[in-house]
Chain A
Amino acid sequence: MNSDGNAWTRYWFADREGTSLGLVRIGVALTGLILAISSLRLVPDWYSDAGYFPLEAAQYWSSEWAFRYLLPDGSGGMWVSFALIGTWIAVLGLLLVGRWMRWVPLASWILGLWFFARDPIFLDGGDEIFRLISLYLAFTGLVLDPRTQPLSVDRLRAVERGDAPETGVPAWSIRLIQLQIMILYMTTGFWKVVSAAWWDGSALYLAYASSTFSRFGAAWLDWMPRAGFVVLTVSTAWWEFLFPVLVSVSKTRRAALVFGLGLHLSILIAMSVGLFPFSMLACYAAFLTDGESRRLAYRIPGVRRLISLPVAPAPTPA
């Protein structure tokens, strides 16, 4: 641990308690478990040569990416996929509780990539966010001392042994996630702000009337005057575009997060867009202060014991 002053160094490398990183990890692990467990029934059709996407097709699809090497010849059988998905579920369980945090996040990322590369056809934005945040968690796991990982069994065991470090985590472990989400919102917000459909209110109706994504159709919105659509679409587009600013200013941060929470919960209820709401909400913890993260973690069953761990090493018995 050093002491240094410039803004760049403080932004990326300042010491953080890191409870929010632990919450993101738990949220990502739960999202991955939803994905992996729900994929079990899809193995014959999606992830085996007996399905519609043979291994050769997957190799061809990913030939430009390094992940071509994750798909060696002979790995197209259904039982290979079942074995890997079972392993992935076990690894995600370890990620959830925070055990073997040097390698488990990396294993989770690679196993997830295997399934994404094995059949990329039906991937969506939720899978993309899950994949990206898993990468950042994997990198964080490789660099950080596992005993410093917040809300983890590794840290609990270190405290019980009396060799837990006094430090928290470097800010970059959380900044990577924050910046990724900011880029996401700003990009999609920009394209919405310059789009006519988000100014005249029709975008909301089109989204809710989509037979592909909407759970209830758009008929239940017929009562709303057009001005209501305009207010909702314009505010959503500008909120997304300005998200990086709104969460960086202390006076608007909470309002921006509450707006996003409402938006993603409404999407979760009304639209069928896969993992997207889960992945996004998991990442929201990265924008909480340490104090807010602690208060939130206190409400999660099973986490209270981990959150109350002392940062300093436990005293050694005389």
Chain B
Amino acid sequence: MDPAADRAPGRVHHTRLVRAVLSVLFGFNFLAIGVYLLPVDRESYDVLPEGLRDPAIRIMAPIIYHLTPITTPWLNATWTRQNWKLFAPDPSAWNVRGEIVAWFPTRPDAFEPGFRWSSDTLAMPSGENDPYPHFGRGRIYRIALDLGETGRGESLQRWYASALCRHLSDPEGRSPDGVEIRLFWSRIHPPWVSPGDDDFYFQTIGGFNCWEFKNRARPWWSIPGLDPRGLPVAHRAAFRGGPE
């Protein structure tokens, strides 16, 4: 392909100096992107044939080690970081369904301790269904994967829980005492693969004590003395031992 063929051959833009500056800029930009896309974890190399793994690591490691400090500031300044691994190497073989369980203060004569929220729908004791806008199917995936696995995941879980505490209310308008996110994972089987014994599992994120969020709008790192990893252990244990 040479789309320039439609134009007069040999005509070029810019002076030599500008061409040199732009050449350096473009070259560095794509070098930075290329370095960023090289795999940094040893596990990524496991997909290569066994004989190629160690040579590949020996070649890549010094490139990444020496160039990353130079290229990262550029990526940060231009936000040209990128990740092209959706459905690669393997698409996820798991489907996930989410539930939010919110615990409300109960009256002494109440039989049920709270109401259960399930994926998109708030299932009320009366059978009435209210759409719950925060919990669409695309978002449960992000909650499950990103919030659970990234280095900043636990903070994000708390912000998300904080919003749930503020947004949810029971039919009497009361805010919840606590919230919990539950994830139900089920394995996907192509037609030619037999189901196995370990095709389902259950995961809990939380629980979060809404009282931790109620008297502040600030995140945890700006509050002296708050355990950044989540609720104080005693609160967490007490809450987990609560009505379930």
Residues of A bordering B, CB below 8 Å: 1-5, 8-10, 12-17, 20, 45, 49-54, 56-57, 60-61, 64-67, 113, 116, 121-122, 124-125, 128, 131-132, 135, 143, 167-172, 174-176, 179-180, 183-184, 187-188, 191-192, 194-198, 201-203, 205-207, 209-213, 218, 222, 226, 229, 247-250, 253, 272-274, 287-291
Known A206-B93, A253-B1; contact A121-B219, beta-carbon cutoff 8 A: no
Shortest Cβ distance from residue B45 to the other chain A in the assembled complex, whole angstroms = 10
**Shortest Cβ-Cβ A-B pairs, 5 listed:** A52-B163, A195-B89, A170-B13, A191-B88, A290-B6
Q: Are A187 and B12 in contact (CB under 8 A)?
A: no
Q: Which one of B61-69, B104-112, B139-147, B229-237 is at the A interface?
A: B139-147
B201 sits at the interface (CB 8 A): no
B58 sits at the interface (CB 8 A): no
Q: With the chains together, A209 CA to B87 CA distance in Å?
A: 12
Known A16-B7, A67-B79; contact A188-B85, beta-carbon cutoff 8 A: yes
Shortest Cβ distance from residue B156 to the other chain A in the assembled complex, whole angstroms = 7
Q: Are B134 and A45 in contact (CB under 8 A)?
A: yes
For B160, list chain A residues within 8 Å (CB).
52
Q: Are B159 and A54 in contact (CB under 8 A)?
A: yes
Q: Are B84 and A4 in contact (CB under 8 A)?
A: no
Known A52-B162, A183-B37; contact A206-B22, beta-carbon cutoff 8 A: no
Q: Are A211 and B96 in contact (CB under 8 A)?
A: yes
Q: Are B95 and A15 in contact (CB under 8 A)?
A: no
CB closest residue in chain B, given A223: B191
For A187, list chain B residues within 8 Å (CB).
37, 84
Q: Are A206 and B92 in contact (CB under 8 A)?
A: yes
For B48, list chain A residues within 8 Å (CB).
194
Q: With the chains together, A221 CA to B138 CA distance in Å?
A: 22
Across the interface, B13 reaches (CB within 8 A) one of A13, A124, A212, A273, namely A13
For A198, list chain B residues within 8 Å (CB).
88-90
Q: Are A17 and B7 in contact (CB under 8 A)?
A: yes
Q: With the chains together, A290 CA to B163 CA distance in Å?
A: 51
Q: Are A3 and B11 in contact (CB under 8 A)?
A: yes
For A201, list chain B residues within 8 Å (CB).
190
Known A1-B11, A183-B33; contact A210-B188, beta-carbon cutoff 8 A: yes
For A67, list chain B residues within 8 Å (CB).
79
For A288, list chain B residues within 8 Å (CB).
3
